[in-house]
Structure 1
Amino acid sequence: MRKIPFFLLLICFVFFSINCQVFVKNSFNFPAGMSDAYSALVDENEKAFYFVDYQEYANSNLFKFDINTFGFINTLDLGVEKVSCGIIDKEKKVAYFGTDTNPAQIVKVNMETFEVVKNISLSQTITNLYSAQIDTQNQKAYFVSGTSSSAVAKIDLNSFTQESTLAISDSNRLGSVIDVPNAFLYVFTYSSLPKIHKIDLSTFSEVGSLSLASSETFPICGVIDSSSGYMYVGTETSPMKIVKVNLAQFTREGSITCPNNENSAYGAGIDPENHLAYFISASSLVRIDLSTFTRIDSLQFGSLSPHAMSIDLQKNSSFIAFQNSRIAEVDLKTFKTVEQEEIENYDYPQFILVDEEANMGYVGFENYGEIAKIDLTSFELIDYLSTDNQYGLLYYGEMDSQNGFAYFFVRHGLVITKVRLSDFSIAEVKQIYGVGEDNSTTGTSFDTKNNIIYVSFSESGNVSIYKFSAPGLEMLGILNLGFIATWKMFIDSLHGYLYSRLGNDPYTGITKIQLSDFTNAGSIDLSDYYIDTMALDSQHQYMYFGNEVSDSNSKEDSQWSQTCRVDLTTMSVIDCNEISGVQEFTASFVDPTRNDAFFFTNFYDSSDGDYEAAVIQIDTTSNKFLYNTSIGDYTQITIWAVDSSSQNAYFTPILENPVRFVQLSIPQQD
């Protein structure tokens, strides 16, 4: 698995004229999320390959990768949604991308500077682009629409303007292939009555059409071997068929029917020197011997679904993008996968776990149930693990370094996924209650001293705390709390208590549970406070919480909040600190090796009119404010973990794409 280098980020802004002691040590960006790839390009001159994603409700992105290292290089926001096709002029170092929109647009990108140069809207008769071809010799491009009024738009690349339009007699989305030496464009009708339309590019007129066999429906992609005068067309059928067309006679010469597990062509590439063609199906890469027109073999990808492909003949590699946002490199000589990389949609990080013994960090992402593994020594992203998405959105995690496991929990349902840390693989999935909107895991905590996992679970509003052994995951007991919402849970192994933050928004209370007999031992009502975050100081038996207060609804006016302390022996609030300028508290933790508590906050910076993140340090022996230090423009830091042995803390802002993973040094108390 490729390692992603970190971007060193040293940020240390002064806040309230206090000497800066907290600083960001390291930070890297997770690659931005990629939806289904509809277009793939390769540029041997620049030693790069590219995939474009198809985003329906957001701008599409162009992803750039290094051919030699298979490394992610950069992402470019194309400024338009639903990018469905792309072409590249390698000599002029520009690319053009068409959209599946009405009106259709074409975006021009300078591939050398990796910047959008310009985009144009096409005429009303050209909508929902499906395929594109380029003639670099004459500086023309052809974009094919795929609607009830299908047409081909001819683009002058020198002036980047629409030159003319040619209507196609058939409708539906249309694939295409260009024969530049002979100046013909071939357009496929994607329907149950399949046809290939032949267009003379010198006159830009349709000069013929060819009907395929009734079983060769939905032709979608193809390649041309200009030297031999043949075209090969793949169909989106089950199984996939590959049709051979004699271009000189414009006649069908035969077809290959692939095995039953090779369905639906999605892309094609050709190696004319070695007389080979490649077609990607729904689950494989199929290799065809063009000299004998026979299927040689296929490379199976299992549950992965290829969606776009580009070929680098210089390197003898094929680069494939999969529907579930992975990419792979295939060595065309050995016909084996040599590299795979995940560029998952890293939205909504939900938790960070730290394995202090192995010095590894783990970040869990909600959307696809992905867990990223990070080497905290080199600060590199080294591996991913995908949990089974059928169980719902990943939401919580607990680290069991002593037994060599980590435990992960979904949001809707009581499901525990046990992951073996030694080889980063799933060891067991235990399902107590299935996925359902009325069933919610609302908090987890791990008692490392007694090897017990506690899970707060709401079933139709009725909340119970479940007790499991670790690592065996045997259920040991259930404590019913009734119809009251719970949130985060804290373990005090030293004194034998579990504390659960409870109530509705704002979360207004703490319940205390005695671990020895698993019974309710008391609670405190905090309804007079607007609680943002809590942190347990088990050594002194205090709970700290951030109380969000503002004397004005205007962010430009004065704001203040409090850090408050609860005595857990008496279950009462004993004191609060007022902190000026704080807009809200987003996360907190207590350093168990020292007498310090830390709060992440957002504060209003009047100098630039925006919010920034900061860290507040509190002396837990006196609940006195020590200092407040800005750490930059991070957005909503709610996901964090602390490694006391190395004196580092780690966090991810939750409202960023790409997601950043940041390391903070924990300051020594003066």
Structure 2
Amino acid sequence: MNLVGSKRKGMPRTLIVLVLFLCQSISEAGPATNVAGYDFVGTTSYPNDGLVNAGRIELEQDVLIDCGFTNRAGTLAWYGTNTSPGRIIKVDLSNLQKVETLVLEEGDDFLSAAVIDGDERYGYFGTKTEPGKIIKIDLETMKRVGEITLPEGEGNLETAIVNPNGTTAYFGTYSAPAHIVEIDLMSFSRTRGLLLPANESLLISGVADAAGQFGYFGSQTIPAKIVKVDLSNLTRVDSVSFTGYIGPRQGVIEPAGVYLYYCLSTPAGLVRLDLANFGDYDILNLPAGQVNAVSLLINGGGTEAHMGLLDGRFAQIGLTNFLYKGVHASQGPGTVDDVPVALRPADLPNTAFVAHGGVPGAIVRVNFLPLERSEPLLLEDESHLSTAIVDHDGRYAYYATDTVPPRVVKIDLERLKRLQSRILRTDVLGVLSSAIDGGDLYGYFGTRGDATSGTALMEVNLDSLYVDRTLTSDLNGYPSIAFDESVNRGWLGTRTT
């Protein structure tokens, strides 16, 4: 049974459809035609049949993959890491072997958005910092060749798209309000910016149409939104909201250019949006137990969609009748804890590469016919868990590490699954103590202290796991916290004599 919600702009309505369908082995489904997706991040491509499983690579120190792209031939990929400083990992996709790692300069932190130019000579990596930076990399020599520091407010770059000829890129910010920044890749300069309305903030994804006329950006607001932007003059055209949903994680325009498909994270669903009548859409919800949709691949005939779930599985959707068909094998090592980066080379029709940004990170090769996956390339794991908090429903726990830099890890206690992991700050010591507020909105983490780093109390948003505010002192660590929910006040124990 599938629940499909529909809405026509100006004529709100809800349609409930009961569907009887035949379950069968997904590997025995009819042959997929051309595979659509990204030939590089932010643009659609429609090569031939695809997705088969093929190899494993272990990268012990390259963790927290958050963005990336491939060349058109599908022989090489470059991944950026959510670390400080950021690292760029060059991977040979033919044998899933690491070629080289470039460690960037101090301040080139938390790479989270990336595009490749039309000549495949240079890559451009945006940082999740304030102010935001765009780092230019020579992909052949793996050298840093330039940077743009953006104006105030244009920081926390979370998504990027590029026009079809690879000459202009558009970076979206995870901020409130949100900005879209246009970058001329030929001159490597910022040309203009667009400030979006306050209720269209926190951009997390984007896709450009095949003509490069319009871009569509996903907004992590409540409710979720998709914002349409005219790229020719960088103006906002319209937006559409999806009441009851959050997290429009990844979008793909199908080959005919009629529909934009977007995976919605929570509850997990696939939205089909009519591009000619922007605002007309249908939503297909996934069955119970299939949650946190975070990536999307579509075959070139526009008949099949594969939605990557945070637990590592793919949900398969038939697009002709817009019906759920089943769920298939894990795309990762079974310890996924961050949003996957799904890449589709333009000229490699049968293959996609899914990189998991968690710890351990993993890169997996996936083929469509037969539908299989490789053993993963595993990356580094967490260590030295020192303290934890649990929400009041007993659903989620948040473990912090006594490491430098410290991390916080979100655990689903019902399924005993790791969901998400973040580095807290790079300029503080390990975490010793923790507390949670009465509304389960924020966690408070106290650190060790010394004469150089001091001691910090970090307020962490438990949805994003990012640090919102920090209180610093010269005390010798906070080994304990007592929190009174009735007055929203905490008391910190110190090691000071």
Select the residue among 334, 339, 362 that pairs with 1:326: 362
Distance, in Å, in 2 between the alignment partners of 1:291 and 1:117 is: 46
Distance, in Å, in 2 between the alignment partners of 1:246 and 1:142 is: 23
Q: Is the 8 A contact 1:34 1:344 kept in 2?
A: yes
- The AA in structure 2 aligned to 1:91 is D
How far the C-alpha of 1:189 sits from its partner, in A, is 1.8
Give the match's secondary structure for 1:69.
coil
Q: In the alignment, which residue of structure 1 is the partner of 2:342?
A: 309
- The AA in structure 1 aligned to 2:376 is Q
Say whether 1:341 aligns with 2:377.
yes
- Given the superposition, is the C-alpha separation of residues 31 and 219 from structure 1 closer, same or farther in structure 2, using an over 3 Å criterion? closer
Say whether 1:84 aligns with 2:115.
no
Distance, in Å, in 2 between the alignment partners of 1:78 and 1:287 is: 38
Distance, in Å, in 1 between the alignment partners of 2:56 and 2:365 is: 16
Distance, in Å, in 2 between the alignment partners of 1:332 and 1:90 is: 27
Say whether 1:200 aligns with 2:230.
yes
How far the C-alpha of 1:199 sits from its partner, in A, is 0.9
Q: Is the 8 A contact 2:203 2:217 kept in 1?
A: no
Cα deviation, 1:214-242, whole Å, max 9, x if unaligned, reads 2233322211125241101111204x111
Distance, in Å, in 2 between the alignment partners of 1:96 and 1:287 is: 32
Q: Is the 8 A contact 1:34 1:53 kept in 2?
A: yes
Q: Is the 8 A contact 2:78 2:91 kept in 1?
A: yes
How far the C-alpha of 1:34 sits from its partner, in A, is 2.5
Say whether 1:152 aligns with 2:180.
yes
Q: In the alignment, which residue of structure 1 is the partner of 2:155?
A: 127
Q: Superposition pairs for residues 203-282 of structure 1, below 5 Å? A: 203-212=233-242, 214-238=243-267, 240-273=268-301, 275-282=303-310
Q: In the alignment, which residue of structure 2 is the partner of 1:650?
A: none
Q: Superposition pairs for residues 29-44 of structure 1, below 5 Å? A: 31-44=59-72
Give the match's secondary structure for 1:181.
coil
RMSD: 2.7
Say whether 1:296 aligns with 2:329.
no
TM-score with structure 2 setting the length: 0.60
- Given the superposition, is the C-alpha separation of residues 2 and 293 from structure 1 closer, same or farther in structure 2, using an over 3 Å criterion? closer
Give the match's secondary structure for 2:253.
strand
Distance, in Å, in 2 between the alignment partners of 1:59 and 1:297 is: 41
- Given the superposition, is the C-alpha separation of residues 278 and 153 from structure 1 closer, same or farther in structure 2, using an over 3 Å criterion? same
**How many pairs were matched up?**
324
Distance, in Å, in 1 between the alignment partners of 2:88 and 2:349 is: 22
Say whether 1:97 aligns with 2:129.
no
Distance, in Å, in 1 between the alignment partners of 2:232 and 2:373 is: 42
Select the residue among 194, 201, 219 that pairs with 1:189: 219
Q: Which moved more, 1:285-294 or 1:199-208?
A: 285-294
Cα deviation, 1:329-378, whole Å, max 9, x if unaligned, reads 11221111123222326x9xxxxxxxxxxxxxxxxxx779xxxxxxxxxx
- The AA in structure 1 aligned to 2:335 is L
Tell me the percent identity.
23
Select the residue among 74, 78, 94 that pairs with 1:68: 94
Q: In the alignment, which residue of structure 1 is the partner of 2:489?
A: none
How far the C-alpha of 1:277 sits from its partner, in A, is 2.9
Q: Is the 8 A contact 2:55 2:374 kept in 1?
A: no
Give 5+ residue unaligned stretches, structure 2. Answer: 1-53, 386-398, 403-431, 433-497
Q: Is the 8 A contact 2:247 2:264 kept in 1?
A: yes
How far the C-alpha of 1:274 sits from its partner, in A, is 5.7
Q: In the alignment, which residue of structure 2 is the partner of 1:415?
A: none
Give 5+ residue unaligned stretches, structure 1. Answer: 5-29, 348-365, 369-389, 394-436, 438-670
Select the residue among 189, 201, 206 that pairs with 1:171: 201
Distance, in Å, in 2 between the alignment partners of 1:181 and 1:298 is: 33
Distance, in Å, in 1 between the alignment partners of 2:145 and 2:246 is: 39
- Given the superposition, is the C-alpha separation of residues 37 and 250 from structure 1 closer, same or farther in structure 2, using an over 3 Å criterion? same
How far the C-alpha of 1:307 sits from its partner, in A, is 2.2
Distance, in Å, in 2 between the alignment partners of 1:274 and 1:249 is: 19
Distance, in Å, in 1 between the alignment partners of 2:73 and 2:85 is: 28
How far the C-alpha of 1:2 sits from its partner, in A, is 6.7
- Given the superposition, is the C-alpha separation of residues 66 and 367 from structure 1 closer, same or farther in structure 2, using an over 3 Å criterion? farther
Distance, in Å, in 1 between the alignment partners of 2:368 and 2:80 is: 23
Q: Is the 8 A contact 1:221 1:265 kept in 2?
A: no
TM-score with structure 1 setting the length: 0.45
How far the C-alpha of 1:160 sits from its partner, in A, is 0.6
Q: In the alignment, which residue of structure 2 is the partner of 1:432?
A: none
Q: Is the 8 A contact 2:316 2:324 kept in 1?
A: yes
Distance, in Å, in 2 between the alignment partners of 1:227 and 1:236 is: 25
- Given the superposition, is the C-alpha separation of residues 228 and 271 from structure 1 closer, same or farther in structure 2, using an over 3 Å criterion? same
Q: Which has the larger radius of gyration?
A: 1
Q: Is the 8 A contact 2:66 2:341 kept in 1?
A: yes
Give the match's secondary structure for 2:266.
coil
**Ranges of 4+ aligned residues in structure 1 off by more than 4 Å:** 1-4
How far the C-alpha of 1:253 sits from its partner, in A, is 2.5
Greater relative CO (CA pairs within 8 A, separation 6+): 2
- The AA in structure 2 aligned to 1:303 is G
